[in-house]
Structure 1
């Protein structure tokens, strides 16, 4: 049933029957939602799909959700509403929302239980490296010594930092270059360098021109 698509009239009829506990007539539709006509195309489509049955021996006809119909509506709930929904649809949806509200009262469920706070997204080492670079440079794009970066990441394993730096460089999310004036390098700068591509890289930059 997951591949079923419904027109607005089909959508309306299915949800109307859900609110009416699975069975209803146009008289009941009129009382609950203000409409008393079911489009023939919607009747035919839903009966052909086996989602509703129609008892034409009653006046007015009785419409009933089949078991596959209930399953189809359940699969329909998380999907986007069909385009061009009408005021009729809005009224039907509000009735269904009131059903959910009544269930929440019975089950002692609050909205906060349905909409919990999102789980915090774990910060990756790559995220930390980029965030640390931003902290060191502020709003400017500039070269930063790897020594300064490593000092801020002193709780991370050196080998893991080196691996992520190399990956970010390969993905062109960061730039790693040698210091052009090698005479300015201290022993600490040399120790903090990353050996990459056959040379030591001492500086990190992001979008530096």
Structure 2
């Protein structure tokens, strides 16, 4: 089995992918956990069938495979790797506690770790607006979040709309709307909304 061949860093990458429950670029991995999956580690985790890596433009994105998910589930009852220090000790104590909770409640990892769609919507908005706080059409937002079901994005927009710094509003000039704009709209309070704006941090 590959377990004995994995470094603590590689184990941490697998666990971050488990917690995020979606594909992550190296930039996102680094932002969340201070690690990247590249070089020999990427080749090893791909060869072991634990992670699938695909190149998007010039950057790799990584996603846990079914085998990788099973590995993470098994690791909840695993022992701390040798020479992993206090960081490894703390990590594996937390994993053991999580494993006990899942056993007692008869739940699985998939019941707990779900993709942060709200965070993905905010990130996509920040990229499209370039941090300006200007309104972005939901058509462009959904294009950027291709692969996430519309209903999940709608739920995320509903949550965001409750925040004081967020505005999800209808297009004032309805004549400018295309069929795609209408399809991309989210209905909140009985009104179709077409634009998202999030105040830029001061």
Q: Smaller-chain TM-score range?
A: 0.3 to 0.5
Task: Tell me which structure has the larger Cα radius of gyration.
Answer: 1
Normalised by the length of structure 1, the TM-score is 0.42
